[in-house]
Amino acid sequence: MARRPIPRDQDTAPAGSDDARTSTPAQPDGKRMKGEQRKAQIIDAAIALFGRHGFKGTTTKALAEAAGVSEATIFKHFPTKEALYAAAFERRTGVGTAHLVDTLQGYADRQDDEGLLRALVQAILIGYEQDRDLHRMLMYVWLEQGPTENRRMWAQMRHSPLFDFIERYVRQRQAEGAFCSNAPEVVAAAVLALPVHYAIRTKLYGIDPEHADEEIVETFARLLLDGARGGTSVER
């Protein structure tokens, strides 16, 4: 049976396609670049401070001092602190997530389930180690917000490009008979939750792991694959 590629989001043009080329914005002028650089300064300062003091514990005055701008400049670019948080999350995760999804697509095209899971687990561990401020920021927000806000944030994450890709991949492999018929969204959540929980424990809280990351990647990939297949993976 011919291999069907995992469907991509309809509103995203692949890099190098005609649609992508025709939709590329014009090169911004010097003034625009300066404004974008200032926004980047504010976002970097926000991630660092949110990660140290939490969302509620960070004032716009402290943000302005850390970014080297006035509070008025912050509100010029971001009407609320919530908007600044959203921009920080999107900017620091968007590019990396898109690259990861492209990498995972390559494994999916080859039906390499174990390779896909290894790449996913490794990317999560590396991401938490290299961008601790961002992930501390996320943890603070989860702890500070109430149930209603957390449900809304989960709904947003539930439709993130990475989660959507994993869920689509699970559905396709189920249709092909490679994975057991558990709820795809539950399988996708489990696939992401296991390495994320371990990364939080070891990379953010500094609890020294007893095993090297390479061993963890291998172990988690096999555990996740065994679960997705309903306990049918074969030892090598």
Segment 91-142, tens digit of pLDDT = 766 656 888 999 999 999 999 999 999 999 999 999 888 888 877 887 777 6
Residue 164 is part of which domain span?
A: 85-228
Q: Is residue 47 part of a domain?
A: no
Q: What is the mean pLDDT of residues 36-58?
A: 89
Q: Is residue 210 classed as helix, strand or coil in its secondary structure? A: coil
Q: Is residue 172 part of a domain?
A: yes
192: left (phi over 0), alpha (psi -120 to 50) or beta: alpha
Q: Is residue 210 part of a domain?
A: yes
Q: What is the mean pLDDT of residues 68-77?
A: 94
Q: Which of 134, 135, 118 is nearest to 195 (CA)?
A: 118
Count: domains in the chain: 1
Non-local (6+) Cβ contacts of 92 within 8 A are: 43, 47, 131, 134
Non-local (6+) Cβ contacts of 52 within 8 A are: 133, 136
Chain segment 164-191, per-residue pLDDT in tens: 999 999 999 999 999 998 899 999 999 9
Q: Is residue 71 part of a domain?
A: no
Q: Is residue 20 part of a domain?
A: no
Residue 16 pLDDT level (bands cut at 50, 70, 90) = very low
Residue 230 pLDDT level (bands cut at 50, 70, 90) = confident
Q: Is residue 216 part of a domain?
A: yes
Query: Domain of 147: which CATH number?
Result: 1.10.357.10
Q: Is residue 206 part of a domain?
A: yes
Q: How many CB atoms lie within 10 A of CB 124?
A: 21
Residue 152 pLDDT level (bands cut at 50, 70, 90) = low
Q: Is residue 11 part of a domain?
A: no
Q: How many CB atoms lie within 10 A of CB 37?
A: 10
